[in-house]
Chains A and B, each alone.
Chain A
Amino acid sequence: MNKSFCLSIMVISVAIWSFSLVIPERVLAEDALTNYNWYCAQCHGEGGEGDGPNAGKDLPVAPRNLTKKEEMVKFSEEMIFNTLTKGGPANNLSTLMPPFGNILPPDELKALAKLVRTELCKC
């Protein structure tokens, strides 16, 4: 085995090791439906009809019915992504819609926005 081959193996090993150090803590990306059921369904309900356990008469604004096509059609996927990331006020919507940009990475928020548009509202 020559010297340069050994050196290459060492360099590759160090590269793999250092890469393993920068892998984020959250290694498994959640699929959109899992995220929806965990974070969104508490207000919007499991079927998206705005009837989650928090949807009571005490709230000043009822959670949006995400299956109501005639209302949802005015929100583009990008607007939904922005609302999910920065909360309702980012799109002049209710402060009751909280921001999830510090919890979920952008790709998972995009997948969630797509799920709302395609699966729940079918817009």
Chain B
Amino acid sequence: MNYRRMFMIGLSIMALLSINWTVAEAQDGKGIFKSKGCGDCHAVEGPSKLKNIEDRVKQKGPDLWFAGSKFKPRYLKTWLEKPSDLTGVKYSELLPVKGKNSHPALSGKEASDVSNYLMTLKDKDMATGIIDDKKKMKRSALFKAGTLFQKTQVCFGCHLFKPKKRAKRAIGGFSGPSLVGAKKRLTGDWVYSYLKDQKRYVPLGRMPIYQGPTFQAYPDKDLKALAQYIVNLY
């Protein structure tokens, strides 16, 4: 057996082992998720069947059945180790958030395992490969999407964002999730999918629906540009 062949076999074994480790960690993560009672606040099966605002107000935390489609892998681990507020108001309320974030923090290993588990939770019906997160937007498309975000629909009325990479502070409202650092947090495909059919993910969200039976506010290409713009926010 020559060295090249031995090397390839070794590499294959290592790849198989690493897949096994990730699967094992995801299984551990599922156990941690269950034992810590995370499911008391977060649904891991969906789509949600919420019917009215009364039920929505009782919800303690966001659904996670599509976490693996929505989040970027590294983000979840970091957040679980050091949870921080994404809105300026308490979940399902309008009372301002004060003091330290109340979400339990996990140790490095636990955060890694739970993150691996959450990344296995995918929306199987979500189209992928539509938005290239790393693609640099054309100047004209960037301008159009920026106008849509900042002037036409004024998304920042509810979502904090940084207008420029080196902006000293973020600006905007507090009731919607902050989009500061969306580049590191969200996948473009999920943002696009959300903009097209947000009821699928958040049936009774406060965000207005722009594509629906009463009116179709924007053509598909605008939604794609907006999704690309959002996942490039610092």
Contact present for B173 and A95 (CB under 8 Å)? no
CA distance A38 to B211 in the complex (A): 20
B208 on the interface (CB 8 Å rule)?
A: yes
Give B170's nearest chain A residue, CB to CB. A58
CB distance from A29 to the nearest CB of B (A): 9
User: When each residue 183-215 of chain B gets 1 if its CB lies under 8 Å from chain A and 0 otherwise, what string results?
Assistant: 000000000000000000000101011111111
The answer for the CA separation of A54 and B152 in the assembled complex, in Å, is: 17
Cross-chain contact B175 with A58 (CB below 8 angstroms): no
| A95 with B151, Cβ < 8 A, contacts A43-B157, A58-B156 known | yes
Assess the B51–A102 pair: CB atoms within 8 A.
no
Q: Are B215 and A103 in contact (CB under 8 A)?
A: no
Q: What residues of B have a CB within 8 angstroms of the CB of A56 in the complex? A: 172-174
Question: CA separation between A59 and B51, bound complex, in Å?
Answer: 32
Interface string of A3-25 (1 = CB under 8 A from B): 00000000000000000000001
Task: Give the complex CA separation of A82 and B52 in angstroms.
Answer: 24
Instruction: Name which residue of chain B comes closest to A60, CB basis.
Output: B154
Whether A42 contacts B206 by the Cβ 8 Å rule is yes
Cβ proximity bits B30-74 to A, threshold 8 Å, 1 near / 0 not:
000000000000000000000111101100000000000000000
Looking at the assembled complex, report how far the CB atom of B125 sits from the nearest CB atom of chain A, in whole angstroms.
18
Of residues 146 to 161 in B, which have CB atoms within 8 Å of A's CB atoms? 151-154, 156-158
Chain A residue nearest to B174 (CB atoms) is: A53
Interface contact B53-A30, CB-CB below 8 Å: yes
Contact yes or no, B208 A99, CB < 8 A: yes
Interface size on B, residues (CB 8 A): 33
- Chain A residues closer than 8 Å to B213, beta-carbon distance: 102
Chain B residues positioned under 8 Å from A41 (CB to CB) = 94
Q: Residues of A contacting B52 with CB < 8 Å? A: 26, 28, 30
| Complex CA–CA separation, A55 to B31 (angstroms) | 42
Tell me whether A39 and B157 are in contact (CB under 8 A): no
Expressed in whole angstroms, the Cα–Cα distance for A11 and B113 within the complex equals 57
A95 and B175 form a contact (CB under 8 A): no
Let me know if A42 and B151 touch, CB within 8 A. no
Asked if B154 and A95 sit within 8 Å, CB to CB, the answer is yes
Complex: how many Å from CA A84 to CA B57?
22
Binding site for A on B (CB under 8 A): 51-54, 56-57, 88-89, 94, 96, 151-154, 156-158, 171-175, 204, 206, 208-215, 217
A-B contact pairs, 29 of them (CB 8 A): A26-B52, A30-B53, A35-B53, A37-B94, A38-B206, A39-B206, A42-B89, A42-B94, A42-B158, A43-B157, A52-B94, A53-B96, A53-B173, A53-B175, A54-B173, A54-B174, A58-B172, A94-B154, A95-B151, A95-B152, A96-B157, A98-B154, A101-B212, A101-B215, A102-B209, A102-B211, A102-B213, A103-B208, A103-B212
Residues of chain A whose beta carbon lies under 8 Å from any beta carbon of chain B = 25-28, 30, 34-35, 37-39, 41-43, 46, 52-54, 56, 58-60, 85-87, 94-96, 98-103
